[in-house]
A and B are shown apart, each in its own frame.
Chain A
């Protein structure tokens, strides 16, 4: 079987994503982990492009690479990037058990979903229709009509998260706690 160009591209990107994901959990230094995470996000963004989701790909880069990884790096720099103090035994029975359970579960889930739900194409957003409307416009149309309520709820969620982060980060709370403990 001769591989077509998209398939070769898929394998390259998948290998990059998996290796970067392994890099996140195997690096002792948290800065390298964050940078591996960035690589993982970029390869996933290109995979989204391959799946005909251009708007999601761009938003993915803006939100994850632009905001979340930068936030991670800030906190890593703030708290120190040292490795973990205790060397941990990676391959104990607990870990193997959990990973095995996860693999089995996901295989089952994937098989059930794949066998059960995929018949013919059922939606209205066929590639032709999306192409004549434009990907972003089609997505915006769906977002502001059918999915207006989740959209508004997401904004409330973001507001709550913002307030929560500000409240948690206030310095007077930390000094209050410290005086409660009575050690300073």
Chain B
């Protein structure tokens, strides 16, 4: 019973991933960039689950759980770094925090 083909889900995942990637590239507010990274991870999760259904395997769903753990850690650390950056530079603009560029 697969009324909705797997390829539709894959296409939706690709669209969401591209929107997230575009957001990371064009937005300079570090908060929005973090949100876009979350969106990209979710697009990958959707792909994993679509393949899990298609291949009758639970491995994709297990992997999604791992991705969720990584995403939670990433957001916690990222936002902590962002608050620290705001203390030091009083900005959340990524272009103002480019001193590591050398």
Segment 3-43 of B: residues with Cβ below 8 Å from A? 3-4, 6-12, 14-23, 25-29, 31-32, 34-36, 38-39, 42
Interface size class of B (residues with CB under 8 A): 35 or more
Whether the pair A63, B56 counts as a contact (CB closer than 8 A) is: no
Per the 8 Å Cβ criterion, residues 36-58 of B in contact with A are 36, 38-39, 42, 45-46, 49-50, 52-58
* Smallest Cβ-Cβ distance to B15: which chain A residue: A18
Contact between A123 and B62, CB atoms less than 8 A apart: no
Residues 98-124 of A, flagged 1 when their CB comes within 8 A of B and 0 if not, give 110011001100100110011001111
* B contact face: mostly helix, strand, loop, or mixed: helix
Task: Please report the number of residue pairs spanning A and B whose Cβ atoms sit closer than 8 angstroms.
Answer: 221
Q: Is the pair B68, A75 in contact by a Cβ cutoff of 8 Å?
A: no
- Chain B interface (Cβ within 8 Å of chain A)? 1, 3-4, 6-12, 14-23, 25-29, 31-32, 34-36, 38-39, 42, 45-46, 49-50, 52-59, 61-62, 64-66, 68-77, 79-84, 86-88, 92-93
Name the 3 nearest CB pairs between A and B, nearest first.
Answer: A123-B57, A161-B73, A25-B23
Q: Which residue numbers of A lie inside 8 Å of B, CB to CB?
A: 4-7, 10, 14, 17-18, 21-22, 24-25, 30, 33-34, 37, 40-41, 44, 47-48, 50-53, 55-56, 59-60, 63-64, 67-68, 71-72, 75-76, 78-79, 84-86, 88, 90, 94-95, 98-99, 102-103, 106-107, 110, 113-114, 117-118, 121-127, 130, 138-139, 142-143, 147, 150, 154, 157-158, 160-162, 164-165, 168-169, 173-174, 177
